[in-house]
Amino acid sequence: MPTWSLVLFGVLLTGCLASENEKAKSWQGKATVHNLKEIIIGKCYNYIRVINPTVGEKNCTAIWEAFQNAFVYKDPCNISPTNYETFIKLAFHKIPRNETLFWENTKLLVHRYSDKTKRMMPLGDTLTGYLADDLDWCGQLEAPGINFQSCPTTTECENNPVNSFWVIASESYAKGAEGIVSVMLNGSVSDGTFPKDGFFAKFELPNWNKTSISQVLIWVMDSIEGPDRESCGTGTVGQLEDILRSQNFNYSCTDNVRTIRTLQCVDYPNDPACSCILQQDDSI
């Protein structure tokens, strides 16, 4: 075979391999958000200066470096929760006693209620959770080490950068719970108010320190427009109560806590479920 033919064959082979590699890197999830470094560092300073200055000084640059070292230039399907251990240590701060708030399928309502640490401090209101909340990211072995095209979903591979982050963040948060612990669940979902494969059941509840927790408050909140699928003592909520009883936790369960219901009713003032609540509030 002439020399030029060998060269052409090599070029074509290289191109085919490159195409196959590019195809292998195409994932179904959202890509890494652009300007991730600036976002993380900016959110860090916003948290320690504006949102929650009580946490004291934090080295936001070091926190970013620990965060990126967990996944940059690494296989996005082989990221362990332990990759983020340094980040967790640098971002750690104590959660105020009685202010831990766990949840499943109630994220928006939880954060409306917590009001950026003013009432309570769910994981998303800690520095650790605040930095990563609502962001997507993943790495790749090739330059630039970060994939800005797509990232793997948990269905594609469980040990992806985002899922592994929230695993260790959830475990760390749960271990810091003290005093009265609250759990806000959604009584209107169709797949179980206390899902067995949810982060609360898998990574948070098992990491509670029983000697540090004095009481567990379960709040089952239905959507204003319903339906009411599960309540205290029924379905998967009853299963959660069984777990707490078996582990000798002091707990109580309340359906549609009035103060939280009022927040829901702000967006549905004319709904029959809200008329009584809003009339009572107007009379105060």
Report the relative pairing of strands 251-255 and 179-186 from DSSP bridges: unpaired
Residue 276: pLDDT band (50, 70, 90) is confident
Residue ranges in 70-153 assigned as alpha helix (H): 85-91, 107-114, 127-132
CB 110 within 8 A of CB 101: yes
DSSP bridge pairs for 183 = 102, 218
199-241 per-position pLDDT tens digit = 999 999 999 999 999 999 999 999 998 899 999 999 999 999 9
Question: Would the pLDDT of 95 be above 70?
Answer: yes
113-162 per-position pLDDT tens digit = 999 999 999 999 999 999 999 999 999 999 999 999 999 999 999 999 99
Question: Would the pLDDT of 277 be above 60?
Answer: yes
Which pLDDT score, from 0 to 100, does residue 111 have? Answer: 97
243-265 per-position pLDDT tens digit = 999 999 999 999 999 999 999 99
Alpha-carbon separation of residue 148 from 79, 152, 155, 197, 249 (angstroms): 17, 12, 19, 29, 46
Residue 2: pLDDT band (50, 70, 90) is low
Share of the chain above pLDDT 70, in %: 88
Comparing 14-23, 25-34, 72-81, the range with the smallest average pLDDT is 14-23
Residue ranges in the chain assigned as alpha helix (H): 3-24, 36-46, 60-69, 85-91, 107-114, 127-132, 161-175, 199, 235-246, 258-265, 272-282
Distance of CA 206 to the CA centre of its chain: 17
Helix (H, G, I), strand (E, B) or coil at 42: helix
